[in-house]
Structure 1
Amino acid sequence: MANILVVDDEMGIRELLSEILGDEGHVVTVAENAQQAREARTGGTPDLVLLDIWMPDTDGVTLLKEWQRDGLLTMPVIMMSGHATIDTAVEATRIGALNFLEKPIALQKLLKAVQQGLTRGQEIVRSAMFHAHARPMHTAAEPAAMHAMASVASMPTAVNHPAMPSAMPQAEHIFSVSFDMPLREARDAFERAYFEYHLVRESGSMTRVAERTGLERTHLYRKLKQLGVEPGKLFKKGG
């Protein structure tokens, strides 16, 4: 199951793609224009975006450029259009789009492109997590979860979970904090590292983090704000 954002100004297209992808077991969020797409992206990083090129407020290529400029293009994006030229498709690919689908979209082409996009997204996340775990030094500006990963060798209580992929950092079993800290500060430090870890692990997906942590999305947003954790900036660093 993946979280997929569908951005298209045509209601029929949104409904059709939502039905097809929903039948495949994915969670689909829809946006009818670029502004709604921006708001959806601010709320969390989807696993994949299907983005129409021709929209009334801001075209898809311009929105793609915005995300690339602001460091928000951390997920695979598949462009869609029934009127785009080859030059437009090439430009979108150059900016960072993974693929281009011409409308009307054939079912098999759609499903194949979506699967390829999700596979690519997983590769990006695994690569980012691996490099973050492998770096020998960390700065004070990096998330506390990354500092926790550096404690693997010195923590005798670290346990390797048999079901965990070898490339996944073992931070869920490890946390290092000074016992000289006041209890409230120590608890906040642990919770901050806990949520940062899950945000990175789930590619910034608030829906999956909420499921992982057992919190309602509204409660999760309040908790992150209270701890000073900014999902967008965190995943930008992690990616």
Structure 2
Amino acid sequence: MANILVVDDELGIRDLLSEILFDEGHQVELAENAAQARDIRQRMRPDLVLLDIWMPDTDGVSLLKEWASSGLLTMPVIMMSGHATIDTAVDAVKIGAQAFLEKPITLQKLLKAVEQGLAREQVRQIATTVNLQPTALYVPPPAASAEENLGPQERQLFDLDCPLREARDAFERAYFEYHLTHEGGSMTKVAEKTGLERTHLYRKLKQLGIDLSRSKRIA
């Protein structure tokens, strides 16, 4: 599902987190210090990073600042610590961390934080695709058509607390509604714009519950 970088100087924690994430279907990269994390980040862009705060060479907050200042903080980062203060956690979030997990980390909290982090990243990617800011992404109310939801006052914000599958469907629904509206309902143009074959596009719209009969669609 996702490529996740785990950065922690404790072998037991690295092994535990990697085992849990592997069981969830994710690919996992491991780093025991900031130097290894830097090397991995230079070679690839993880979909999400789990970053320990207290490490022997460079602490996690300093590494987070380094990535932010150099333009490498382009992925969601979740901070972890068993000794950090509230102020440290707040500072990390201000720098760009998406969440903070206190050790010992429970399975439920870990999976929820990872799921929400990946969902927010999907929001950002879709926002980039449709040339919107992530905070401006909206899901049209189910009972209304795309044409009836062009004004911000008639739209609803994404719910980032819902399960990933539901969030992904909501993002895709907004994505296709956006292109249907801006291409005047032309299925041909939407297929070209989104890179999908028309048959696949029709199947996708039906799966997402987008009612094409509510407005005139150009074949």
Please classify the TM superposition score into its range, dividing by the shorter chain length. Answer: 0.5 to 0.7
- Report whether the alignment pairs 1:131 with 2:131: yes
Q: Who is 1:7 aligned against?
A: 7
TM-score by length of 1: 0.57
What aligned pairs does 1:185-204 form with structure 2 within 5 A after superposition?
none
Note if 1:40 corresponds to 2:40: yes
Tell me the residue number matched to 2:68.
Answer: 68
Task: Please tell me the residue identity of whatever aligns with 2:33.
Answer: N
Could you tell me which amino acid in structure 2 is paired with residue 122 of structure 1? Q
Aligned-partner residue type, residue 56 of structure 2: P
Would you say 1:161 and 2:197 are equivalent positions?
A: yes
Structure with the larger RCO, 1 or 2 (CA within 8 Å, 6+ apart): 1
Deviation readout 1:128-154 (Å, 9 max, x if unpaired): 12219xxxxxxxxxxxxxxxxxxx9xx
| Letter aligned with residue 27 of structure 2 | V
Secondary structure, aligned partner of 1:131: coil
Cα distance, 1:161 vs. partner? 2.3
Cα distance in structure 2, aligned partners of 1:25 and 1:81:
25
Match of 1:97 in 2: 97
Aligned partners of 1:20 and 1:107: how far apart in 2?
Answer: 8
SS in 2 for 1:50: strand
Q: Distance in 2 between matches of 1:73 and 1:8?
A: 18
Q: Distance in 1 between matches of 2:45 and 2:196?
A: 28
Q: Report what 2:115 is aligned to.
A: 115
Aligned residue type for 1:49: V
Aligned partners of 1:96 and 1:87: how far apart in 2? 14
After TM superposition, the score normalised by the length of structure 2 is 0.62
Show CA shifts across 1:32-51 (max 9, x none): 00011011111111110000
Letter in 2 for 1:20: I
- Could you say what secondary structure the match of 1:80 adopts? strand
Q: Deviations over 1:155-199 (max 9, x none)?
A: x99574244689xxxxxxxxxxxxxxxxxxxxxxxxxxxxxxxxx
1:24 aligns to what? 24
Letter in 2 for 1:123: V
- Separation in structure 2 between the aligned mates of residue 98 and residue 109 of structure 1, nearest angstrom: 14
Name structure 1 gaps, 5 residues minimum: 133-151, 167-239
Distance across 1 between alignment mates of 2:31 and 2:119: 23
Report the CA distance between 1:125 and its aligned residue.
Answer: 1.1
Deviation at 1:126, TM superposition (A): 1.2
Aligned residues: 145
| Pairwise CA distance, 1:65 | 0.3
Q: Indicate the RMSD between aligned Cα atoms, in angstroms.
A: 2.3
Separation in structure 1 between the aligned mates of residue 33 and residue 118 of structure 2, nearest angstrom? 23
Tell me what 2:143 maps to.
none
Distance in 1 (alpha carbons) for counterparts of 2:127 and 2:77? 18
Seq. identity, %: 67
Which ranges of structure 2 fall in alignment gaps of 5 or more residues?
133-182, 184-188, 206-219
